[in-house]
Structure 1
Amino acid sequence: MQIAEFIAKTKASQDLAVRAITMKIDNKLVGRSPVGDAKFWKHKPPTGYTGGRFRANWQLSIGSPSAGVRELIDKDGSATIAAHGSTISAAKAGDVIFLVNNLPYAKRIEEGWSRQAPVGVVALTVVEFRTIVDDAVNGVRNGTTASEFAQGYSTYKL
């Protein structure tokens, strides 16, 4: 009986750590994504242009990467983060989790074409990955990660 309880607790802790890591990476990618500011562009933007499409095109999925692009605008990233909440809450240890941005100019942004993200978005987050994992695991150990999830996914912290 005690072994079964230990296994269940350990599995739940692993799942919670995976969710916390995914949430933190998602928050960083969305929050760091540049929002177009046409006043710095060499050419005039299209009529009716508004920034926030790149930020809105982060797509989170489990098992296989999302295809296509979204025709949404999300200047502050809150709607994108909120939309990912149900997928993150379903994530479990062992799942393959994808965070993709399929916009044609995503690669250019990652290569430093944006003055708002001169070293990219993903590369900077990859550099921080070990710290993200350590913080998530420590949060599971001391119980603070559960309270983060109780607050919801709608706010991101950089």
Structure 2
Amino acid sequence: MSDFAATVAEFAVKAKANMDRQVREITFELFSDVIKMSPVGNPELWAANRVAHNYNVQVKDHNAALRDDPANLDKRGYLKRGKKLNDGMDIVAPKGYVGGRFRANWNCSVTTPDETVTDAVDPTGATATANVLAKMGGAGSVSFLCNALPYGEMLEYHAHSSQAPAGMVRVSMARIGSYIAELK
């Protein structure tokens, strides 16, 4: 092989490696953003707990307002005995409830979507993000991020969660353009 051919071959190898790295970076950025934006069940935000949450906030605000008046404070700076309102309503959630099942069900795969469903929870999204890093493809392959839970459509398109009122995938897709521009 001539020196010229060897140089071209070396350039082609480096170019493919760079393209593969950029495709992986963009894929990881997009997929991890979708996972981070996915709502995690928060019983305080549930409609069934709205009255209790609002009441608890009002009690907290009432006690804070009392602290603003020095006449209500003892020598140590605490509210005087009998001034503080000690009341609240319980936030209701199923026994043993832990949010994060939707995040745990983001599955990354190459070539075909992985539509498996798990009962696992991943409140931080760390496990799902590690799955993306381990399973996503590079240049020349098609990577999928799929969540097959039946309420995913409600979260994405119907403002079913105050944590992601505009969805996760559509917002992340809109953001990725600026990320790609930064890579140039």
Corresponding residue for 2:167? 120
1:16 alignment partner, one of 21, 36, 39:
21
- Counterpart AA for 2:155: I
1:21, 1:133 within 8 Å by CA — same for their partners in 2?
yes
Which SS does the other structure have where 1:61 is aligned? strand
The runs of 4+ residues in structure 1 deviating greater than 2 Å are 42-48, 132-135
Q: Give the SS at the match of 1:128.
A: helix
Flag the structure with larger Rg.
2
Which of these residues, 123, 126, 132, is aligned with residue 78 of structure 1? 126
Q: Which runs of 5+ in 1 are unaligned?
A: 139-158
| 2:113 is equivalent to residue 65 of structure 1 | yes
The one of 12, 25, 29 equivalent to 2:30 is 25
What's the TM-score once normalised by structure 2's chain length?
0.69
Aligned counterparts of 2:132 and 2:118: Cα–Cα separation in 1: 14
Partners of 2:179 and 2:153 in 1: CA distance: 23
Q: Give me the whole-angstrom Cα distance separating, in 1, the residues matched to 2:129 and 2:27.
A: 11
Q: Deviations over 1:121-140 (max 9, x none)?
A: 011011112123233x43xx
How many aligned positions are there?
A: 135
Gap regions ≥5 residues in structure 2: 1-5, 49-91
TM-score in terms of structure 1 length: 0.79
Which has the higher relative contact order, 1 or 2, with Cα contacts under 8 A spaced 6 or more apart? 1
Percent of matched pairs sharing the same residue? 36
Contact 1:33 1:54 in 2 (8 A): yes
In the alignment, which of 70, 80, 87 is matched to residue 135 of structure 2?
A: 87
- RMSD, aligned α-carbons: 1.4
Secondary structure of the residue aligned to 1:107 is helix
Q: Deviations 1:59-94 (Å, cap 9, x if unpaired)?
A: 110000002212210111112112222213xx2211
Give the Cα–Cα distance (whole angstroms) in 1 for the partners of residues 180 and 120 of structure 2.
30
3-state SS, counterpart of residue 47 of structure 2: coil
